[in-house]
Amino acid sequence: MALAKRIIPCLDVDAGRVVKGVRFVDIRDAGDPVEIARRYDREGADELTFLDITASSGNRETMVHVVEQVAGEVFIPLTVGGGIRKLEDIRRMLNAGADKVGINTAAVFDPEFVKQAANRFGSQCIVVAIDAKQISAENQQPAWEIFTHGGRKATGIDAIQWAVKMVEFGAGEILLTSMDRDGTKSGFDLQLTRAISDAVNVPVIASGGVGNLQHLADGVKIGKADAVLAASIFHFGEYSILEAKQFMAEQNIEMRLE
Amino acid sequence: MSSVAVIDYGMGNLHSIAKALQHIPANPDVTVSDDPKRIMQADRIVLPGVGAIGDCMAALKTTRLDEVVREAAQHKPLLGICIGLQIMLDESEESGTTQCLGIFPGRVSKFPENNVDDNGDKLKIPHMGWNTVTQQHHPLWDNIPDNSRFYFVHSYHARPEQSEHCVGTSCYPYEFSCALAKDNIFAVQFHPEKSQRYGLQLLENFIHWDGQS
């Protein structure tokens, strides 16, 4: 018996509503974050991640209420990312019931922010989200660069060096998304996942590209990820979380099944 | 109705534990407080804690809530969670050496870097996620199957001197104590408030517990 690998469904929330269409036949309101969170919790999700994609900062308060409601009903770890730029943002989310916050763009603009956040709230609640794209050609030594603003802005920063630096600055976990794979359903970038997981001593969550259950298993077995995050394969009811866990357990991956 | 006070000494996310306590069927009266009087009025007391143990211990002393914990430890059902467990040992090697409350004889040590699992894969620090807990007999495990999984997130673990104080163990990759108990005190390294139904069951058991082992 050992520590289980984690499956983390990710929900995009815009102004308090889950978007990118969750399509469960038996859910009354597919946009209700609380109802969807409850459903994933029942299916055995090990954690939940909410990504606030609300464009206007005036609507940020809505996310706080979403977290409050979910945290009052679902008793597994909750991570909230999107728009976390100040210590005050973190404090509000933790007070609302989030256990961890994801920091992405703000870390790139001001790496010291990660240090301050970890010192103030503890590394255990600071997840640094890294969006990476491969910049090397086929026959070259593989290299990845980090991007901000949902993958639109290049930074010139090497992804592996960045991950190492963020852990030195106090990140307790790395959420790694391959921008090349995100939305493609062709599987995680396993080479990238493996490179980052080998380079840091904190847990790494693989994200971006999951299209089937074998992809999840590969993320752990080949990519050496400690957790796997996916959205659409769960939202559209293609697979339940429990099916995914059973599939992975059959491949001798330690999972929480009870 | 049973009442429970969560000690608020300025460290960590107390809302999760308060919300979980409010959710359980026993429906206790939950207070989150830094006022010694109000805390001592409750039937039972929860000592939470996250972050660095040095900061936690300093905050407990500054608020003089360490005295409340010591007093509660004499006679009230007391539940320590995460750093709330670690702080009950004599000392921790975190933040140099941190002198703690000394309720359980023993020390708190860091997981060594570069440990590997059975497959030869590197074991990350913090130990984060769902791990199994092997139980020793105690009423707080009632209705929880042995070896159920609970949610952990920590880099240090307790090493109690007296084996009879250990009532639960986990493995990473070696066996370590993750639940300690004596008399009216129970303490866990994992987060029951984040451990879904078995975590809530443990909190329910705590609310019904008379403080006898």
CA-based nearest residue to A215, from A180, A184, A179, A176 = A184
Please state, in angstroms and rounded to a whole number, the distance separating the CA atoms of residues B172 and B123.
8
Distance of residue A94 Cα from the nearest chain B Cα, in angstroms: 6
CA-based nearest residue to A246, from A213, A220, A222 = A213
Mutate to test the interface with B, among A3, A168, A202, A241 (most CBs of B within 10 A): A3
CA-based nearest residue to B79, from B177, B151, B186, B158 = B186
Mean pLDDT of chain A: 92
A131 has catalytic annotation: yes
Q: How far apart are the first and last CA of chain A?
A: 13
A174-202 average pLDDT score: 95
What's the half-sphere exposure (Cβ side, CA atoms, 13 Å) at B204? 15
Q: How confident is the model at residue A28 (pLDDT cuts 50, 70, 90)?
A: low
Q: How confident is the model at residue A19 (pLDDT cuts 50, 70, 90)?
A: confident
Mutate to test the interface with B, among A38, A75, A115 (most CBs of B within 10 A): A75
Find out whether B52 and B25 touch, Cβ atoms under 8 Å. no
Residues of B annotated as catalytic (active site), given as ranges: 82, 191, 193
Distance of residue A90 Cα from the nearest chain B Cα, in angstroms: 11
Instruction: Show the tokens assigned to B160.
Output: 């109690």
Nearest CA in chain B to A3: B131
**Tell me: the pLDDT tens digits for A99-158?**
999 999 999 999 999 999 998 888 999 999 999 999 999 889 999 999 988 778 899 999
Distance of residue A206 Cα from the nearest chain B Cα, in angstroms: 15
Nearest CA in chain A to B24: A73
Q: Residue B40's pLDDT is what?
A: 96
Does residue A57 surpass a pLDDT of 70? no
State whether B15 and A76 contact (CB < 8 Å).
no
A67-78 average pLDDT score: 96
Q: Which amino acid is at A108?
A: V
Instruction: Show the tokens assigned to A179.
Output: 């921008």
- Active-site residue identified among A131, A182, A218, A226: A131
State whether A122 and B50 contact (CB < 8 Å).
yes
Does residue A94 surpass a pLDDT of 60? yes
A93-97 average pLDDT score: 90
What ipTM was estimated for this complex? 0.94
Q: How confident is the model at residue A56 (pLDDT cuts 50, 70, 90)?
A: low
Distance of residue A152 Cα from the nearest chain B Cα, in angstroms: 31
Query: What are the chain B neighbours of A201 within 8 Å (beta carbons)?
Result: 113, 122, 124-125
The pTM of this model reads 0.95
State whether A227 and B12 contact (CB < 8 Å).
no
Q: Residue A138's pLDDT is what?
A: 86
Nearest CA in chain B to A5: B129
Query: What are the chain B neighbours of A121 within 8 Å (beta carbons)?
Result: 51
- pLDDT below 50 — which residues of chain B? none
B193 CB within 8 Å of a chain A CB:
yes
DSSP B104: S
Q: Which member of A4, A96, A173 has the closest CB to residue B149?
A: A4
Q: Which member of A2, A77, A203 has the closest CB to residue B151?
A: A77
Q: Which of B178-203 are b and which e, b meaning 16 or more Cβ less than 10 Å from the residue's Cβ? A: bbbbbebbbbbbbbbbbbbebbbbbb
| Angle of CA points A28, A30, A31, to nearest 5° | 125
State whether B127 and A3 contact (CB < 8 Å).
yes
**Tell me: the pLDDT tens digits for B111-170?**
998 888 888 888 999 999 999 999 999 999 999 999 999 999 999 999 999 999 999 999
B23 CB within 8 Å of a chain A CB:
yes
DSSP A124: G
Q: How confident is the model at residue A27 (pLDDT cuts 50, 70, 90)?
A: low
Mutate to test the interface with A, among B130, B156, B191 (most CBs of A within 10 A): B130
Using a pLDDT cut of 70, give the percent of chain A over it.
93
